Amino acid sequence: MEKIFKALADRNRLRILKMLERRPLCVCEVTSVLEMAQPNASRHLGILREAGLIEDDKSGRWVNYSLSDQGDEMVSAILAYLKGWGNEDPLFKADRQKAATADRRRLCR
Amino acid sequence: MEKIFKALADRNRLRILKMLERRPLCVCEVTSVLEMAQPNASRHLGILREAGLIEDDKSGRWVNYSLSDQGDEMVSAILAYLKGWGNEDPLFKADRQKAATADRRRLCR
DNA sequence: CCTACATATGCATATATATAGATATACCGA
DNA sequence: TCGGTATATCTATATATATGCATATGTAGG
């Protein structure tokens, strides 16, 4: 439980969750949107995964991360409430815009 | 939102929330149960209050803290789910036991 | 007022967490 | 198998958070 809240208690990880609401993303897409170093993004994603907030789906050399849909009750409830929050935040909106237009074939090379 | 999760991302603060499920407590009672320094307990309570998770009710020289019952949706939902979690945890059980028998007139002198 | 007590705040320090940079691992295609 | 690419891990450092101690604030009662 503490692990779940620790995972949520970081602005960049909340940004990741908000952009995953739109669609699953691979590490390089998240890296691109957050404009941070790739190892850093990978680490944040790992923390969210360990907490059960997101799931990873490895396909080839990519790892697609998506919001968890079978976590425990607390996780499901929090993810649901998060969807109705922060949608007018300029930063989250910009992130989503970037995520929407991100193309991994352009980004990751 | 981030402030809420930061407040929840600490074992001692989760202990406080679990013991407040039973009944409101003053700072010295929380201090006694957690066996930590009084300023430390006061600080944790302040963080929980700032996050809207608990409310303070000053009566005389005591300040009674209780679970918030009019927070935003996320807070209410989390507090509700927390009530169904960890009730078999030995530490939480011991805390509740101590809180149940705590008497501020004996403790705070 | 003055004292005693409950609570809160300031400050220094220890500890945990985030970030940066280098490198390792895993996978695909030629 | 080799080279390129996506992802993960390691180490060091910066930054944030928790704790301990001293002290301030605020209140009740004499």
Measured CA to CA, the distance from residue A69 to residue B10 in angstroms comes to 25
In the CATH scheme, what is the code of domain A2-101? 1.10.10.10
* CA A17 remoteness from chain centre: 4
| Predicted local distance difference test score (pLDDT) of residue A70 | 82
Distance from CA of A4 to the nearest CA of B (A): 8
Listed residue (A106, A76, A97) closest to A33, CA to CA = A97
pLDDT range class, residue A101, cuts 50, 70, 90: confident
Query: Which of B2, B4, B5 should be substituted to probe chain A, the one whose Cβ sees the most A Cβ atoms within 10 Å?
Result: B5
Q: Name the residue in chain B with its Cα closest to that of A12.
A: B2
pLDDT digits (tens, 9 = 90+) for B79-98: 999 999 999 999 999 999 99
ipTM for this model: 0.92
Overall residue count recorded for chain A in this entry:
109
3-state secondary structure of B84: coil
Listed residue (A20, A4, A5) closest to A92, CA to CA = A20
pLDDT digits (tens, 9 = 90+) for A36-88: 999 999 999 999 999 999 999 998 889 999 999 987 899 999 999 999 999 99
Question: Looking at the complex, does the CB of residue A12 fall below 8 Å from at least one CB of chain B?
Answer: no
Measured CA to CA, the distance from residue B40 to residue B27 in angstroms comes to 10
CA of B97 to C1' of D19 (A): 25
CATH code 3.20.20.70 for B2-100: no
CA of A50 to C1' of D12 (A): 24
pLDDT range class, residue B102, cuts 50, 70, 90: confident
Q: What percent of chain B has pLDDT over 90?
A: 85
Mean pLDDT, all residues of chain A: 93
**Residue range A94-108: average pLDDT?**
80
**C-beta separation of B8 from B85 below 8 A:** no
Measured CA to CA, the distance from residue A61 to residue B64 in angstroms comes to 56
Residue B109 has pLDDT above 60, yes or no: no
Listed residue (B67, B88, B86, B89) closest to B76, CA to CA = B67
Tell me the one-letter amino acid at A25.
Answer: L
Question: Looking at the complex, does the CB of residue A53 fall below 8 Å from at least one CB of chain B?
Answer: no
Q: Which residue has the higher pLDDT, B10 or B70?
A: B10
Measured CA to CA, the distance from residue B91 to residue B104 in angstroms comes to 21
Q: What percent of chain A has pLDDT over 70?
A: 94
| Predicted local distance difference test score (pLDDT) of residue B100 | 87
pLDDT range class, residue A109, cuts 50, 70, 90: very low
Domain locations along chain B: 2-100
Residue A108 has pLDDT above 80, yes or no: no
Mean pLDDT, all residues of chain B: 93
